[in-house]
Structures are given as C-alpha cells and as structure tokens.
Amino acid sequence: MTTTAVKIALIAIAPLLLPAATVEFNRDIRPILSDKCFTCHGPDPANRKTTLRFDMEAGARRAIVPGDPLKSEIVRRITAEDKAVRMPPAYAGHDRLSEREIDLIRNWIEQGAKWEKHWSFLPPKRSASPEVRDSGWARNPIDRFILSRLEREGLKPSPEADKTTLIRRVTLDLTGLPPTPREVDAFLDDGSGNAYEKVIDRLLASPRYAERMAIRWLEAARYADTNGYQTDGVRDMWRWRDWVIDAFHRNMPFDQFTVEQIAGDLLPNATLDQKIATAFHRNHRTSGEGGIVPEEFRVEYVSERVDTTATVWLGLTMGCARCHDHKYDPIRQKDFYRMFAFFNNVPEKGLVYNFGNEEPAIKAPTPEHSHRLAELDHTTARAEQRWKALQPRLEKTQRKWERSLAKARAIEWSVPDGLVLHRRFKDDDSGFDGRRYVEAGAEANFNYMEPFTLAAWIKPAAKDGAIVTRMEDYFEGEGYGLFLLDGKVRLHITRRFTDIGLRVETESAVKLNEWQHVLAVYDGYRYASGVKIYVDGQEQKLKVLFDDLNFPLGPKEPVRIGGGGGEKLRFKGAINDVRIHEIALTPEQAWTVPLSGPVNEIAALAPEARTHAQAARLRLCFLDRFASKNIREAQKQLFEARKERTKYFELIPTVMVMQEMPEPRPTFLLRRGAYDSPGERVTSGVPEFLPQLPEGSNRLGLARWLVDRANPLTARVIVNRFWQMYFGTGLVKTVEDFGSQGEWPLHRDLLDWLAMEFMDSGWNVKAMQKTIVTSATYRQSSKVTPEGFERDPENRLLARGPRIRLSAEMIRDQALAASGLLVEEMGGPPVKPYQPPGLWQELAGGKGYAVDKGEGLYRRSLYTYWKRTIAPPAMTTFDSPNRETCAVLEVRTNTPLQALNLMNDVAYLEASRKLAERMLRDGGKTPEARIGHGWRLVLGRNPKPRETELLAEALEQFLEYYERDREAAGKFLAQGDSPRNKKLDARELAAYSGVASLILNLDEAVTKE
Amino acid sequence: MTRRYFFGRSAAGIGTAALASLLGKDLSAAEGLPGLPHFTPKARRIIYLFQSGGPSQMELFDYKPRLTEFAGTELPDSVRKGQRLTGMSATQSTFPVVPARVEFARYGESGAWVSELMPHTAKIVDDLAFVKSMHTEAINHDPAVTFLQTGAQIAGRPSIGSWLVYGLGAETTQLPGFVVMISPGAGGGGQPLYDRLWGSGFLPTRYQGVKFRSVGDPVLYLSDPPGFPRENRRRYLDVLAKLNRLKLEEFGDPEIATRIAQYEMAFRMQSSVPELTDLSKEPEHVFEMYGEDARKPGTFAANCLLARRLAERGVRFIQLFHRDWDHHGKLPEGLPKRCKETDQPAAALVRDLKQRGMLDDTLVVWGGEFGRTVYCQGRLTADDYGRDHHPRCFTMWMAGGGVQPGVSYGATDDYCYNIVKDPVHVHDLQATLLHCLGIDHTKLTYKYQGRHFRLTDVHGSVVKKILV
C-alpha cells in the first residue's frame, strides 16, 4: 500500500467523521480521553500518577474550566510545543493529538464541557422513529433511522435488489445454504404482495435456519471436540451443540436461552435438557498436560468463564481487570473476582482427563437413546421377574441337592469366572525370604480402564512386602501391584508415581505370622472409589492415598509373586493360592474365595449355622454346576440382560455440565491474576456501575440478571451481533467491546430501538431476524458506484445493501448443496470430512485423522470434528474462528490460499463433478442450457449471454483437451468417494466438471450480494 | 478509520480509479506499517530453530564441572529456594543431583564450552552469541512454547512471526512472509505442536504462518488435481478473471479486484513453491555440509536447507520446529539422537549463510522453551536418568543479523539451577529480536478489545550487550 493510497482513502472516509456542530461527550470526547489519557488518568489507581482523572467529571475539574478552553489546563497541555509539558507524553507511546481531536476538546469545553455516563451503561430508550422526507421508502422503523441519517448526509438509498439476488441473499443469510432453482422460481412466480414474507417464514421454519444460527453461537461459546491444551484430548460436547440447534429451531426466547445455559442446573426441578444447556461453560479449553499445577489451570478455566460471559452478553472486556483495575472502563479488579465467584464453585479438576469427558459430566441420552434404554430396562425387568419367580424352585432344588451331598463324593469349588492366573505352591515351597520372588508369566496385562481382581493367602513375617504385582521393579514403577506396607494392604495402579495413578490402603493392618486371605477388586473405571479390599472375606475400610488415574499404562513386566516394587519390598513370610481374575468379583464371589474344602461340609451345616460366605459359596456352586437347565438359563438371561443394558448405557454420550459444590469455594482477589497470590476475600457480585444483584446471589441470580430489562447491555450486544450477521459489521463495529474503548454506535437510536423491540417481543429471536431482513435497508441492491464507494467504503451508512464474502462453513455447505451431495441430517456426533492426510501426525504423531466414509463426508460444516490445536484447514483458511476462545467478531480476508483451497481441495473437486453430473443430466441438451443450469444451482440467477459465452469457451477448450487425453479425464473424475455416474461420457463429464469448478470459484459464488 | 482498515482488507479503500492498476499488482505480499522499521535494522529476516521439548542446557552448552562433586547428593534447599516444580517431580521423595555424563571442551577463539554431543556447533562458536541466562515463567510445554511464540502463556495472542509480517511486511511477492516447517525426532514422538503457535491471534489471518509440509503438497491444496494440467488451469483462470471482471464492472466492489489478483498469486505460487522445495539442483557439497539427512524431506536437515532457500527468496520469518527434546527419562539415550539430527544442519545453515554473505542480515536463533532440572526425575541408575522441566535457566544461541559473534552472555550457578548474572527473560529475547529487525517493541501495537497489545506485553528490554 502506498502512502498516496492511504491519503486517498483517508480523504474518502473523512466525511463520516466530520464533527457535528454540537460536540457530544460520549461520541466525540470520551473516545479520545479513553484512548489517550485513561492509561495514566483513568480508572486504574495503580497507574494514576496524580489525583487528576478523566474517567469521571469530579476528577477532571482541575484541568477543565467549562466554557473557557483558554483557562483549561488540558488545552494548554495537549497543545504544548514543549515535549516536557505536552500530553499525552511520548513515553506513553502516543504522538501529539491530531488537530481534529484538539478542536473537538476545545469546542466541547467551549460548549460547557458537559459530561455523560458512558452511553452503553445507560438503559436503552425507544425513541420515536425519525421524520424522513422519502417516507414511502421505509418498510419498518429500521429504515426510518437509516434513511434519516442518509438524508442528513445527502445520500440516497439504493433501489431494491432484484428478486433473484434477494432470495439468494436471504436464503444464505437465514439458512447458510443457497436457494434451489425451484425455490427461486416459486418466488419469481409469486406476484402477491407478501411473497417475500412468505419466503422468510418458510426459511425461519426450516431446521437449516437453526443450524445457521447455531454456528455463530458455537464460535462465541468456543465449542470444540477436543480439550485444546497440549495433547488436546477428546471430549464429547455435541449433545450441547444439538441443544443449541434445537433451541433456535423451537425459537426459544433469548432470555430463557441465556438462563438455561448459564444456570439451567440451578432451576427448580431442572430437566435433563436444562442441565445439558449448562455445558456452555464447560466448553472452554482444558489441560491434561502431565506436570501442570492443577490450581493454576483451574483458575484459568474460571477466569475464562468470566471473560466469555462478559464478551458474549455484556460486550465488556472484563479480562482486562483480572490483574489490575480496568484501564478504560469502571471495572475494578475486585469486580472481576466478584464475577469469578459465580463460576468458582464447580467440583472440577485443573488437570483433566485426556480421553473423554472430565467431571462433572452427566449422561445425556437423546430421545432415541432413552427409548432404547427403556426397552432394555423392560427386558431386564422381565428377566428379573422370571428369576424371582424361580426362587422357590431354586430354594427347593438346592435343598434337595444339599441333602444329597451327604452321601456324594467331595466337591471342590471356587469362583471360575474370569480366572486368568492361579498359582498354588506346595507347602514347602510357599516361603519367601525377602530375596526370592516368582515370575508368573505374561497374563493379566490389564490397563487402567479394565477391571481385575487379585487374591492370595499370605503369612507375613514383616510389615512390608510385595504380594503380587505386574509393574516395573521399583517402588514408583509403572504398573499395578498389591502390597503390604506398614502392615496395611495396599493397591497401586501407577502410570507415573508422582502424579498419575491410584493408591488405596486398608485402615487396619494385617496380623504378622498368621495365614490370612487378601483380595483386591478394581472395577476398571479409574477411580479409587472403584476399589474394594477384603481380608479373610471381610470388606475393609479404605483410605484413599492418591486418586488421579487418567492415563493408560504401559507395563511390559511379568506378573511377580512376592516381588516387584524394588528389592526392599521382596516378601518375607509365605504366600500361596494366588489368583488373578480379569473381572471385578462381586462381593458374594469375593467372600467365597478364602473358603476351601469340599462344599459338602457346608451343606452338612444347618442353614442358619452357615456364614454368609459359606451360604454364598453353596449357592454359587449350585448355580454354576448343579441347578436345572431352566434355572441356569434364567440366570444367564438375567446376566445377559444386565450386561447388555450396561453396555448400551456406556455408549450413551455424556456431556460436561455445570454443578455447584455443596459448600462454595471461597473466592479471593488474586493479585496480578496469579493463582498462588490470593488477596482479600470477595463475594459474588456484578460491577458497581451496573444494576446490582442482592448480596449472596448465585449463578442463577447472575443468569437472570444478564437478561433483566434493567441490564443496559445484553439486548444491545445481542441485536448488534444479529446485525453483524446480515450487514457484515455491527452497528457498533467493536461487537466485543461496548466499553469506552469500543466504537460509538453509528446509529445509537436504531441500536436502542432494536434492543427495546427485542426485549418487548419477549426476546423473540426469529421475530428479530424477520424485522431485519424485511427492512428496506436490507433489501437494497449492493451495487457500488465509485462515488458511493469513496463516500463510504465500508458501507457503514448503508446507502446500499450488504455485499460480503460468505463465511467458511457457508462456502463449503453451498458447494455440497448445489452439487446435491449435502446430507441434511440434524445433530449427532461430529463427522470427519476430507482433510489432507498427515496434518495431525506431523504435529502430534499418533494415528491421525481418519476420514469418514459415506454420509459423514457430506454433512453441514457445523458438524465437522473440531480439533482445536489442528483445526480443519478448509475452515480456518476462510477465517473461521479457531474455537480456542470466545469469538464474536466476524472477520473476512481474501488470500491466495483461499483460491488454492477452492480450486484443489478434493471436497470442491468432488462437488464440481457432482454439479457437472446435474448439469448434464437435468440441464437440457445444449451446452448453454447446461451451463445455465449449473449457474442457477449455485448463483440462483440465469447467466448473462456474455457469461454463458465465456464458460462455453472454457468448456470447449476442456472438451478438446479430454478428447485428446481420455486417461486424464478418468483421473480428473476420480476425486472423492461418491460414485461417478457411469452413464455419462467421461470426457464430457470431465470438461463440465472443470466448468462447474469455475462456477464455484466465482467471486459471486463466494459472496452474498 | 485507521490503518487497520487497510491491512485488514488490502485493496479496499483505494477508489475505483486505482483499481485497474491494482489488477496488475501483487496483493499477497503483506505490506508493512508506515513508519516501520522504526530505525535502521541490522537484520532483515529471522530463521528461528525452535527445539521443542526443552533441550538440557547442562548436557550441551552450560558446562558445570562441579556437578561431579555433587553427584547423587540432594539438591540443597538453599539452591531450590522453594521454587515450584512440575506435578511430575514435585512429590518425588528425593532430588538427587545428576551431572552431565558427557565430555566438554573449549572451542574457537572465543573459547566457548561445548559438549561432545554438538561437534559441528563447536566449530562455529566464533559466529555465535550464547545466552546462558534465559529464563521463563512457564513450567510446562504448552504455556512455555506459547509464551516464547506469543509473549503470553495462555494462547490467543499473535505469534512473533505474525507480528513481524504485520509490522514489516514481506520482501517477497511469490511466497508467504512467515513460513513454518516441522520435523519430528526420529522416534516420531515428542511433545505435540499446535497450529496456533504460528497463528495470527487477533491480527488478521493473513499474517499467520504458512506451514510448509514434507508430506503431500508443501502448501495445502497447492497442486492441481490429477488430469487437470497447467494449460487447463491457465484457461480456467483466464475465464475466471474475465467473469469476475464483468462482475467488477457491474458492482464496483474492490474486493472483486482483490480476488482476481489473489487467484493470479495462487497460480504463481503453484510454480514458485515447487521450485523452492525442489532440492535436486543443490550441488553435492551442500549436502555434504548439511548432511545426508538433507536429502530426506521432512528432516531437520532438509528443513535447514529449505530455510536458507526461503531466506534467499525474501521470506521474513522462517521458523523450524524440531520435536522430541523432552527427556524426562532415558536422557542418555534420547538426547544424543536429537543432537545428531540437529547439530550438523544447524551449524551448516550458519556456515552456508555466512559463505553467501547472508549472515549479516539474517538472524539465526536456536533454543527450546525451557531448560531441564539438575536433579534426576524418576529413576537414577548407572546408565539412565531423566530431567524434569526447568524454567529458571536455559541456554539459547543466536548468530548473525546484528548479534555479536563469539560471545557468551549471562551465567548460572554451580548447580545450573539459578541465574547469577544478566538474566534474560523471554520478553527480553522478544524485544531483542524485534530490535534486530529495526522495531521498537514498545511501539509495535495492535488495538484489540480496547487495548493496545504488543508482543512483549508491558515488559521486555533489549539485551544491548549482545548486539553489535
């Protein structure tokens, strides 16, 4: 860019910025003071060098004499030639204020130096729609606000866009997809006065509308399928994504939409859906990086919730107040931590699980899941009933069998289920002397998510020793092991001793020099709560020593009896009858393991004389070997039914949600924002300059406060983002910042009108979209005249309709739709469409990205699997936010990488081929007609003769080439998984595919105009 | 209205009259900000050899003979001073000191100490400035790498390369201004990297680093599909341009002009990038210098050679990442392998640049995200030990581009635990790198969410003593 160009542009833009006759503090003065003075003379006391401050009237009186600029110190300072006197000082990185800025300040003081509270902190007011000369143009109040400004600027609105342009524009805007030729025709043929409105109603009712609305919300909510930090493990949050789509589809009022996402869990009798909604604030990035200080990251998560809430609902940059008072807005550091307190009571971990959802998480069945689960419950209940009905018979036959045992031969029985290792030593070989251990093979290679049971008879001669292990042979080694330590029975499952593993021990010690039976059960769900230890068949009270097993093990060592855990832990005493099961034994099973001797002996006892263990053994033995087929069958069915139910239940997705701890965590102001530097204790609350909440309010209170009519920000911030969706730029361009560094709204009256309208309609989201897209403002043609462009290059005044590049997901979805590939299915787990191979491996190793087969390739882009650290390139190339943090500002660039993507990505080549098939099949007989058909499928309109002519030339050249090289045609058509229409001539299809690709690459194709 | 507007939207704002000339002009080379560089730069570009995972300073460059004396003893509290450790070793029952089990010697006129693991680097020490007093605030990989790349531990800000291209633009019209290349260690493992490390944060996405890949297209989607030769692409683009021009005439939107130009740029990249990555014309002696690995695409050696070719073509910021320096355990096995993979090519790059007279205006930087602990992590045996992350000190080296050759700056204590002289914080390093390119780090700012952000946050001072 040359300097000349810069100058030209500055001149071109200048008219927008000319000061109005009357200086307005909020519009004209505050932005200068904020940007240039507040750093040292603003809200943050730490930076204030003197008592002089310009963020409030009282603090500035010393430097400002209303009505008299010459006596005002501020004017002397900003105009001073002497650098030592001049403000702002060079050391603060500022140049001298511009003449324009100086004039504004002078005029303002001359006019009485009137102060105002920052505009967005005052409640919105519904002003009367302004008078306009061309009142016939306006279709709704939006237009009167826009037109009145245009008339003031001496500009005229553009004529309405033609009908095909309009239907493509509004269909893309409301559904993210292009209109079909049939939809275009229906609109063109509909001469009724409300034809356009009918289109709007049809679009708003479409599920595609909900998907289109959802994606911007997902970006704001930093939704993704992985955790984000370091190894970027997987998570499952799609049930929340589907909740969002459903909410937009049902047109959930925005206040309810807000309350449920912020605090649905705290609503009385919260439904499953309301709990799922709270996943909003579990969408932030989390770290599973080994070795982090968990509290450091937990604080990060909570802070992130404050930032995101402030950006999404309040348009405030609260994050600036995390380490110090805000430099520009009246947000004290304390206010940040008062907001922090609302989100600080989640029973969550700083170091998270890398292979799935971290707690708190809930099962989030879809209706289909619930239905299937109910069926399985029913089957289980029936099996239980049948089992119960058989009990008398079971009792009877068992008693009969027991009686028969008196004369029968001796029956030995022990639990056979899942037994993978059983080692019995001869009595003279069961001694362990503190040096000996026995290697017992490579069985029992359990990982951290697999259940197991370890059991043995021991006669310890010392308080410490390894009983049975499968781990590296030192105390902190990787693997699992059952030990005696200080006489207590201990189970270790260790990945890395210092921070990844699980360790529990019995509260009481075993006896020395006596035979006792020890048995440990682990349920395979990676928590200490899933461990049980029995001594002599009695379940023991346990002490949890460490409970953070979140990573697979890699033990390559054999099973060792009496060893493992290092030389100091070789067993002293005797060990015998070692058993390892690859299941978690039930308590009944576990009780029986220490018992030996023929079951006949138990049968000989009177039933009331038997211990519960003996009774269990007798019953289990009978069921295992002697019960009638009928009974065993019924038991098997019951087990199978339960197993199937469990299996299905485990497949049901979970979602991470918000929960409150019974006792809230105390919240402290953190000095410099550091987790380990607590200052004063604070209670929950909102910044003082906003309407206040009752003391002691919780998250639900905050949620309701966000959408309280008294809150001046939320409605404005939300309608401003809606506006941005249609016009590319918000009425306040800084959609993320409504504070004093944000942009003064170009149409404050209109913004307020929209905000009031939104609230008065009961926060009706669909109605608000309809109001915007039915306005004459929206319906204008987007053609630009040179004068119009020079006058308003960014189209902020809206003397023409919006003409902006489609967003990333729209570009891809349009290609899928126009080519007929799009699979219109709502919701479900994320899908993995095409992505160049190797992208994941080169950064993170592993198996990489497995491209889907079939439908997963053709779903709308909002369902694409989103790995945060390696985001889908076809999305980020087109400026899609990376989902690392909350993103609300729409950004559009124009780069060569985008051109390469659209021309050469297999997704677009396949879409071109399928579009070409449609052109050949449905487009008619002539090349012109076929070109016209493809053109209409993408652009909605018919091509102009010159356009058809140019494409026909290209077609001719491609045809000529593929006539010469038939093999090339085959190669070109081999893009993508979808089968090619073999009825079509390969050469012709290849040539048409080239043309179809051309159409998809047109500027108009990637632009909403 | 600010310059942000222009750089965000390139061609817009120029007026229709200027559009015609724009069509012939290249738009992809990001143009720098007016007023930059702030002063005459010493370097025009940076090649940053990032050693990801955290190479051990005391096995490579920071020679600590007294550690042999301390071997096996507990790290004294007077040295550790209660400083925090990672969760991986904080609860270890013992913190035994383990000395480097490699030989050190002095090299060159500067007499720099270098370990036997880096024989090639040893030969170029008189061209290098060692900084032995680097320190960082982060204790784990993700925040630490992010800190070096963006000046903040929590991801979201622009990377250093993006800042440079935003501020200075590029000196090429054929290639991106900021290129990234990655090589795994031969084990293929190591700490993962993330696209955001070369992301543009809140700067427009056009300033983000472009990853040159060794598998498939060097630049994503660069190659035309099979069965669609260049002649077809040329015709295709001609027709596309004509159609887009019709649209431009009708709608007058300068974005259309930009799009036409970007498609032409894409077409040129389709030739210039393969020409760049084609090493077949490099003479034999070059491969001898960089090592045989340089013939294998995707190795650190091949990437070093490519880095020189990128530098020759005017790319502003070239960043290589070599993975797998994270030696928590099995350090005696892993570390020599990483050295073997990187030592020769890194030294060759410096020599090569020097021979071509490019070292004067190219700044080469070598280093990881933190150092490693002097105490053993995990099991200490006769032939095995590991070291945990150590943010308190680590060593980096720089060469060329305004940096004094043959110097060593800063010093650590006998335990290689704390810095005793001239500490250099990550923000200081960043300030220094910008300085070498003629940028006052306090003045390269971008307003986002109401605040004027910069790479060095509100910190950083230029390490003047190592500059020429």
B252–A783: do the CB atoms touch at under 8 Å?
yes
By C-alpha distance, the chain A residue nearest B139 is A292
The predicted structure's pLDDT at residue A669: 97
A793 touches chain B (CB under 8 A): yes
For every residue of A884-926, DSSP letters joined together read: SS---S------HHHHHHHHH-HHHHHHHHHHHHHHHHHS-SS
User: Around Cβ B52, how many Cβ atoms within 10 Å?
Assistant: 26
Q: Which residues in chain B are closer than 8 Å to A1003, comparing Cβ atoms?
A: 244, 247-248, 255-256, 259-260
Q: How far is A283 from chain B (nearest CA, A)?
A: 16
Which B-chain residues 112-171 have CB contacts (< 8 A) with chain A? 139-142, 154-156
B139–A498: do the CB atoms touch at under 8 Å?
no
Torsion sign over Cα A107, A113, A119, A125: negative
A895 touches chain B (CB under 8 A): yes
Question: Residue range B21-45: average pLDDT?
Answer: 72
Q: How far is A778 from chain B (nearest CA, A)?
A: 17
Q: Which of A16, A789, A970 comes nearest B252 by C-beta?
A: A789
pLDDT tens digits, residue range B126-163? 999 999 999 999 999 999 999 999 999 988 899 999 99
Pairing of strands B394-399, B128-135: antiparallel
For every residue of A486-504, DSSP letters joined together read: TTEEEEEEEEETTTEEEEE
Q: Which residues in chain A are closer than 8 Å to B445, comparing Cβ atoms?
A: 93
B39 touches chain A (CB under 8 A): no
For every residue of A553-600, DSSP letters joined together read: ----SPPEES--S-GGG--EEEEEEEEEESS---HHHHHHTT--S-HH
Reply yes or no on whether the pLDDT at B19 is more than 90: no
Pick from B16, B117, B55, B260: nearest CA to A785: B16
Backbone angles phi, psi at B67, to 5 degrees: -60, -30
Question: Rounded to two decimals, what is the model's pTM?
Answer: 0.89
Q: Which residues in chain B are closer than 8 Å to A848, comparing Cβ atoms?
A: none
By C-alpha distance, the chain B residue nearest A905 is B221
What averages of pLDDT result for each successive group of 10 residues across chain A (1009 residues)?
A: 35 42 82 84 80 83 86 88 85 81 89 88 91 91 95 94 97 98 97 97 98 98 96 96 98 98 98 98 95 94 97 95 90 96 96 93 96 97 96 96 93 95 92 95 92 97 96 93 97 92 97 97 96 97 94 87 94 97 97 94 94 96 95 95 95 97 96 94 96 94 98 98 97 93 89 98 98 98 89 92 96 98 97 95 88 97 96 93 92 91 98 98 96 98 97 97 96 95 96 98 97
Q: How far is A1009 from chain B (nearest CA, A)?
A: 9
Q: How far is B160 from chain A (nearest CA, A)?
A: 18
Torsion sign over Cα A412, A415, A418, A424: negative
ipTM score of complex: 0.88
The predicted structure's pLDDT at residue A744: 86
B252–A784: do the CB atoms touch at under 8 Å?
yes
Q: How far apart are CA A877 and CA B206, in angstroms?
A: 9
Reply yes or no on whether the pLDDT at B11 is more than 70: no
Q: How far is A824 from chain B (nearest CA, A)?
A: 27
Q: How far is B373 from chain A (nearest CA, A)?
A: 14
Q: How far apart are CA A995 and CA A989, in angstroms?
A: 10
Q: Are B341 and B187 in contact (CB under 8 A)?
A: no
B246–A947: do the CB atoms touch at under 8 Å?
yes
The predicted structure's pLDDT at residue A657: 98
The predicted structure's pLDDT at residue A21: 63
Q: What is the DSSP letter of A290?
A: T
Q: Which residues in chain A are closer than 8 Å to B251, comparing Cβ atoms?
A: 782-784, 803, 1009
From residue A92, how far is each of A88, B167, B268, B462 by CA, in Å? 7, 19, 44, 18
Which A-chain residues 674-693 have CB contacts (< 8 A) with chain B? 676
A968–B214: do the CB atoms touch at under 8 Å?
no
By C-alpha distance, the chain A residue nearest B219 is A897
B450–A287: do the CB atoms touch at under 8 Å?
no
B263–A896: do the CB atoms touch at under 8 Å?
yes
By C-alpha distance, the chain B residue nearest A495 is B88
A974–B227: do the CB atoms touch at under 8 Å?
yes
B111 touches chain A (CB under 8 A): no
By C-alpha distance, the chain B residue nearest A869 is B194
Q: Which residues in chain B are closer than 8 Å to A737, comparing Cβ atoms?
A: 449-450
3-state class (DSSP) for residue A542: strand
Residues 6+ apart with CB under 8 A from A489: A482, A483, A505, A506, A510, A518, A520, A533, A535, A540
Q: Alpha helices of A390-488 — where are they, by DSSP H?
A: 391-405
Q: How far apart are CA A496 and CA B378, in angstroms?
A: 9
Q: Are B212 and B340 in contact (CB under 8 A)?
A: no
The predicted structure's pLDDT at residue A86: 87
Q: Are A461 and A431 in contact (CB under 8 A)?
A: no
The predicted structure's pLDDT at residue A492: 97
3-state class (DSSP) for residue A160: strand
By C-alpha distance, the chain A residue nearest B447 is A741
B8 touches chain A (CB under 8 A): yes
B243–A909: do the CB atoms touch at under 8 Å?
no
A498 touches chain B (CB under 8 A): yes
Q: Which of B90, B239, B250 comes nearest A950 by C-beta?
A: B239
Q: Which of B139, B141, B225 comes nearest A975 by C-beta?
A: B225
Q: Which residue has the tokens 């609902």?
A: A313
A100 touches chain B (CB under 8 A): no
Q: How far apart are CA B19 and CA B254, in angstroms?
A: 7
Q: How far apart are CA B242 and CA B206, in angstroms?
A: 26
The predicted structure's pLDDT at residue A674: 92
Torsion sign over Cα A458, A459, A463, A465: negative
B302 touches chain A (CB under 8 A): no
The predicted structure's pLDDT at residue A76: 87
A293–B228: do the CB atoms touch at under 8 Å?
no
The predicted structure's pLDDT at residue A150: 94
The predicted structure's pLDDT at residue A224: 98
Better-scored residue on pLDDT, B235 or A842: B235
- Say how many CB pairs under 8 Å bridge A and B: 308
Q: Which of B139, B244, B379 comes nearest A1002 by C-beta?
A: B244
Which B-chain residues 319-378 have CB contacts (< 8 A) with chain A? 378
The predicted structure's pLDDT at residue B180: 96
Q: Which of A10, A951, A973 comes nearest B239 by C-beta?
A: A951
Residues 6+ apart with CB under 8 A from B388: A291, B85, B86, B88, B89, B328, B372, B373, B375, B377
